[in-house]
Amino acid sequence: MLNRIKKISLILLFSVVSSVSAAELNEVDINKMMDGMDQAVASLDANSIAQVLSDDVSITLNVEMQGQKQTIEMNKQEYVATIQQAQALYKNYKYARSNVQIKINAGKATVTADVKESMTVQGMEMNTTTKETATMELKNGQILITKLVGYSSL
């Protein structure tokens, strides 16, 4: 069941990825990053997603499925591998991001959003709602995600 939850839920966290270089964190560049993510997520492009994850990123997904709660923690390599596995499982994947809020403070950006997704997995239609929070920092002039937390219900 844990592997199924991982495969179903791994894209749920991401609505914010694209390679963007910047001298300082600002909303314009963060929004560019988010726009690029729309394309990467829609195609389950693990390589594009990996490019904006810090090597030491902390990823936590809290999932509620059929009344059971599960917390899944992954590092960058595990997350990318899970996305690659999901490419074969997900059909008719769609998502919509709303209620995006960006706060920049002390060299870090915190981006919160609500994400609604639908997909077909092994012939079964699945709908999810996720509240996500991504922490971003500049590393070597590139905006990278250093922490990602999602709360999903399936």
Q: Which domains can be identified in the chain, with CATH numbers?
A: 2-153 (3.10.450.50)
Residue 22: the pLDDT is: 55
Distance CA 130, CA 1 (A): 19
Q: What rounded mean pLDDT belongs to the chain?
A: 85
Residues of the chain with pLDDT under 70: 1-23
Count of CB atoms situated within 10 Å of the CB of 15:
25
Q: Identify each DSSP E strand in 30-123 by its residue range.
A: 53-65, 68-74, 90-105, 108-121
Residue 99: the pLDDT is: 95
Provide DSSP, 94-109: EEEEEEEEEEEETTEE
Residue 36: the pLDDT is: 80
User: What Å distances lie between residue 42 and 13, 15, 22, 55, CA to CA?
Assistant: 13, 10, 25, 23
Q: What is the pTM of this model?
A: 0.83
Contact 52, 144 (CB under 8 A): yes
